[in-house]
């Protein structure tokens, strides 16, 4: 049976982009006679707030959506993400990283490192801590995936693929060189909380919720190749993916949570109806 989810993080109020995502997912579930699930991605306790979570439920209900209860809240499953992380560590694919953002910027700005100073934000982690063993992990260290090792740990990474049903439909496979260049050694667990970060939690929970099609924004398209690799390493099932267009503001910029002017709650307070919201996002 078709199962999809909407997986917001309660770090701000839902905006038009979230409405589009949730409405798209729910419509696909309904058309397929399947299920629409909600997942609260609240692993980052420093940024999540209970009032934002309450607003998510209120906004979605106002839009006319319904979802299965109980809702999966990631903060209640941190041990599972740690277990998945431990598995990757046991496979020898992780290392502790003590670099600050400033360290990374400095390493990337050094001409001998990248030859492209000034592009530090877009560049991948330069691998400063890659030589460190997990046994050296200090209390403030993050944990990174050694992507080259992770790719080498699967027999033929270029055969790992997924089916895309969204705006760039087709069958996609991992291009190892491109993943190394575009994604690099991402952080799997942050230093400030012991828990695993987004990438692990998302693959563990898409499996837990038996998601058959992940519906989400095109901004996460590139991350899907990494998710595909993590699924393989962790022995998890592979859903289809449906990446949808992004809702942009009038200047063409993707909406962000801090963009309160576009918050659903604000439109609602100003008298907009759910039908108005649908029109605004082109549904």
Binding site for ligand GLU (CB under 6 A): 7-9, 41, 202, 216, 220
DSSP 30-95: HHTT-EEEEEE----TTT--HHHHHHHHHHHHHTT----SSPEEGGG-HHHHHHHHHHHHHTT-EE
Q: C-beta of 219: minimal distance to ligand GLU in Å?
A: 8
111 near 244, Cβ under 8 Å?
Answer: no
Of 229, 238, 242, residue with least CA distance to 210: 238
Of 171, 176, 132, 126, residue with least CA distance to 154: 176
Neighbours of 273 (CB within 10 A): 11
Polymer length of the chain: 283
The residue among 28 and 216 lying less far from ligand GLU, judged by its C-beta, is 216
The residue among 17 and 184 lying less far from ligand GLU, judged by its C-beta, is 17
Spatial distance between the Cα atoms of 137 and 145, rounded to a whole number of angstroms: 14
The residue among 7 and 200 lying less far from ligand GLU, judged by its C-beta, is 7
Q: C-beta of 21: minimal distance to ligand GLU in Å?
A: 8
The residue among 141 and 205 lying less far from ligand GLU, judged by its C-beta, is 205
Q: C-beta of 202: minimal distance to ligand GLU in Å?
A: 5
Q: C-beta of 218: minimal distance to ligand GLU in Å?
A: 11
Q: C-beta of 95: minimal distance to ligand GLU in Å?
A: 25
The residue among 153 and 234 lying less far from ligand GLU, judged by its C-beta, is 234
The residue among 177 and 256 lying less far from ligand GLU, judged by its C-beta, is 256
Q: C-beta of 48: minimal distance to ligand GLU in Å?
A: 11
Residue nearest ligand GLU by beta-carbon distance: 216
Give the torsion through C-alpha atoms of 9, 10, 11, 12, to 10 deg.
110
Spatial distance between the Cα atoms of 213 and 206, rounded to a whole number of angstroms: 9
């Amino acid at each position: 049976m078709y199962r999809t989810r909407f997986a917001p993080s309660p770090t701000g109020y839902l905006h038009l982009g979230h409405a589009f995502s949730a409405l798209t997912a729910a419509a696909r579930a309904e058309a397929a006679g399947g299920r629409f699930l909600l997942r609260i991605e609240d692993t980052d306790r420093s940024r999540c707030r209970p009032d934002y979570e309450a607003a998510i439920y209120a906004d979605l209900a106002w839009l006319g959506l319904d979802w299965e209860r109980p809702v999966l809240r990631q903060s209640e499953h941190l041990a599972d993400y740690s277990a998945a992380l431990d598995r990757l560590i046991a496979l020898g694919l992780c290392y502790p990283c003590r670099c600050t953002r400033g360290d990374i910027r400095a390493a990337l700005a050094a001409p001998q490192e990248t030859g492209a100073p000034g592009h530090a934000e877009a560049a991948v982690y330069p691998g400063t801590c890659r030589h460190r063993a997990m046994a050296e992990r200090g209390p403030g260290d993050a944990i990174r995936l050694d992507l080259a090792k992770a790719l080498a740990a699967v027999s033929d990474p270029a055969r790992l693929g997924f089916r895309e049903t969204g705006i760039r439909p087709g069958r996609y496979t991992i291009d190892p060189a491109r993943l190394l260049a575009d994604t690099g050694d991402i952080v799997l667990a942050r230093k400030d909380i012991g828990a695993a970060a987004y990438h692990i939690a998302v693959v563990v929970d898409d499996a837990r919720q038996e998601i058959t099609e992940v519906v989400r924004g095109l901004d996460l398209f590139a991350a899907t190749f990494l998710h595909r690799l993590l699924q393989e390493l962790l022995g998890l099932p592979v859903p289809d993916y449906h990446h949808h267009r992004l809702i942009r503001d009038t200047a063409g910029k993707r909406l962000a949570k801090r963009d309160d002017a576009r918050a659903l709650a604000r439109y609602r307070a100003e008298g907009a109806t759910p039908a108005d919201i649908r029109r605004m996002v082109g549904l």
